[in-house]
Each structure stands twice: as C-alpha cells, then as structure tokens.
Amino acid sequence: MQSTSRDVESGHEAFWSAVFECLVRFHSFSKQDAAVRLAEAKATYDKLTGASPLVYHDDPFYLACDLAGSGLVLDDTNAKAYEQLLSEIPGWPAP
C-alpha cells in the first residue's frame, strides 16, 4: 500500500507532536516554551532541508533531547513512559 501525501503530512504532524510531548514530559518544558522551541526547530529544519523528510527519520525522543540541550538517554527508567507517550499520539507510528 502506497502512502498518500495526506498520510505523510499526518505522519509529520504525529512526529512533531511526539517531540512536543517529549519536551514537556521528559524535559519539564512548559507547553508554551515547548511550542516556541518546536516552532523554531521546524523553521530551522525546513530552511536547512527544504522541508525534506530526512528529519523524520530521527527518533522524536532524541530530537527533543537535542532541542532541550539534554544528554538524556532512552533507557529502562523512561522507556515505558515514552512508549505510553507515543501510544497517545494520533497517527503514530508515522509512515
């Protein structure tokens, strides 16, 4: 089955939603601060890559860590919480 542009766009939205939630839940960003950081990141990625799908091959958890300037790793202490977070994102897993 081939992905449509709507499927891809939905997957992009799910990806960025997961990054947002990671900033809030794992890095203690306020929702407002997470939204600002996310908007900056999206603009930067679009400018650098021409809106290439390349960024969507990264894991939302680690992209959020980069945006937060954190060395947090996905391990036994937070893996279940991350899996739960992803299960709450409409459209996840991203195509």
State which H helix or E strand residue 79 sits in. helix 79-87
Is 32 within a domain? yes
79 CB contacts (<8 Å, ≥6 apart)? none
pTM of the model: 0.81
Higher pLDDT, 7 or 21: 21
Specify the number of domains making up the chain: 1
Residue 71, pLDDT > 70, answer: yes
Is 94 within a domain? no
Question: Are 14 and 86 within 8 A, CB to CB?
Answer: no
Is 9 within a domain? yes
Residue 56 domain boundaries? 5-87
Is 72 within a domain? yes
What is the distance between the alpha carbons of residues 11 and 80, in angstroms, rounded to a whole number? 22
Is 33 within a domain? yes
Is 92 within a domain? no
Q: Tell me what the mean pLDDT of segment 55-67 comes to.
A: 86
For 21, what's the count of Cα atoms within 13 Å in the CB-facing half-sphere? 19
Is 21 within a domain? yes
